[in-house]
Structure 1
């Protein structure tokens, strides 16, 4: 970690030091030896590192001027510029366990100014890019150059910072813009490179409004805590009590919770429906969540492990449809599969997302999964009838004891088990575990994998033969039927 000289920056750090927010990270890379692979080293601070468009795909600590920096080169094999790189070699990617309001990285250009050339566009210099959970570019900031702009010039350490109105930064990329095509090393055999150090994150303040987000039938915030009648205060309190990082209010008072904000941020005016229980507050809209950060720090998820490229067909190797439209990237698809405790997530055709508990059909060459993710810069999302498959790292769950099954019960439109935990993809194990985790006495599975919960048995019992629909995620189990719940006691 190099020594900073910015008084303003020091004052900001001092102000934050008294009450560090959830998942705030200050990473200088000096806590490990030079040459260490640091992809998961800072997971405890809510940051996973990798590199994109590089040969290794990894991030490393690398010594430079008596301290460590972060690089995509392995110093043992990286060559002369092991600590410095440009987009010719790739970019370092930092993915955050909780979305951030502000992210900064210290950068330094390491080539002499004459190598820049007289380029009026001034684009060949270090940069920091911020993206939301869908892979949309939110902002890009550049290293200040030497062309009379009154700022620190080329060859100095500068702090590149992206700050947003609310916490929607899911990950960042940083590198140094490459030379124009065909002109690499065009001046005295030199390229334009950047060195990077001191990655810092600043999450949303506790309890703050995050924004208005879209929803769909899969549920961006997967746990329904109240079917109706919620207020901002009661929904946030319920989400916090169940240790979720975000609370979402929809359609006048339905309350949802989860650990990632939602699918896509839209204008606040789309979340203008008054709460039925307090008309002075807004409770989202139709398929729109008013999302709030609860201040809870979720556990850092395990990094998904790529399993390979697998064939698919109309019968679906990974049977649970998580996102039918091409809107997923690796991070959002794996998160959706994890929310249903599915062992595998698969991305296909540029961003369709599927989940399941077995790998798939036939493994083929990785180059058959070559379609870029529509929503994920630098990520690959399978191909035509090809899944890029990832292991989600969720633990296997025990089967409930035989006496936990209470029978087949009739359901109604008002829901005899009122809490919707999963709209699809549940198994007996995952539904019972989810209901137990939320503190409910009973779990009910319906119509191939919907999961409901409540504290009283439904009033009307049906014949067990009326609960005859196999669970999509595990066809050896039964998941109720049409308006029929297979009901289990959770304790």
Structure 2
């Protein structure tokens, strides 16, 4: 019969085809002189009773902690064949540090904070005697015996913040297959690049992206072949801010201009901000549309809607404003209806009718027509690339599927409160809320709702193989480029590990 560890690998690793790893099973367990290389945090409580001595700098034993290429403590103060706890804590205290860590017997590491990706492990993982006093323990390979003046403070993990200036995060994008993904103005700064400085440089362009830690690019559209990839791909630290992520080689951390921001949108290749050519279309006057749009025709609307997403009913509605709104939300098709209504979708409408059926004056310009009752004047963005998606991952969380919800109670029982409330709903904020509550399964629904639980939903409730076509296609209130479930549809994620083991584990 397979061991528990073997069963974990056999049945849980990559179960959903997302590359996820199972935690190690069978505690306590020693492998090659260290404890489990991928320990389950649920089992990582430690006695802390092994050593109550107070050392230099008022340091006391804090526990056994993991260490990796992303160091738990930044400064190696010495590597000595006579290392002891007393020597290491004294050396760190004299150098002005509040934390000391002994590793691999002879090494002494110091810092004032522990790294963002370290985990507290079992005490028995630190089992190597100190060479200068074999009655003491000085860590192990990949493990630190940690001593600290007070509880050790953990550094924040670098991330792509959801909002930077007038922009919100829209995902990690790969480079285009020819030319640049964003081919507008650009600059490089090998020492001081930050997301904020790139946002300021590109302000007014629809997109900005930072690549290879130091390169800033602006643009109004994406080059051919550029698409959203896993957030894990954009893992390089910005040269000017080690808490921010600035893409990677061949990948950009991309931000989209907030459509409500009080700035004029700069059209790439145009000398005039917000310039729009005139295109011929149905209606009594020349049809003005944003660059790249053309008229698609008049279509019958009904139930279900010909264009699924409602962008609202407004007193100043025009084809130009509706098309601009849908474009800013990442949609390919825009449609005006009943004078004041604006609708969007990525799938083309199917029931066309004669152009004269779309004959109602636009609420914002009575010289143009905006559909009619159950009739849509539809426009298509010929430069569109798919920028709206179900976010595939976030930190240690991975997308499971779109599930049917609410038929026999909630599939995830706990209602979560997100930072900033429902108007700031994003996948990241929802998953962070679940993580703070210690929940391992989390889902977003109906633009702004967040739910959590400890058990994955029954697979019988999966609504379809593609989350968007299965109904999880409502844009998040706080980030219009990503899906936040739908009506009675919940987009569910599972926490497969810690941040260190998913995004930055090397």
- Give TM-score scaled by structure 2 length: 0.30
TM-score for both structures, normalised by structure 1: 0.31
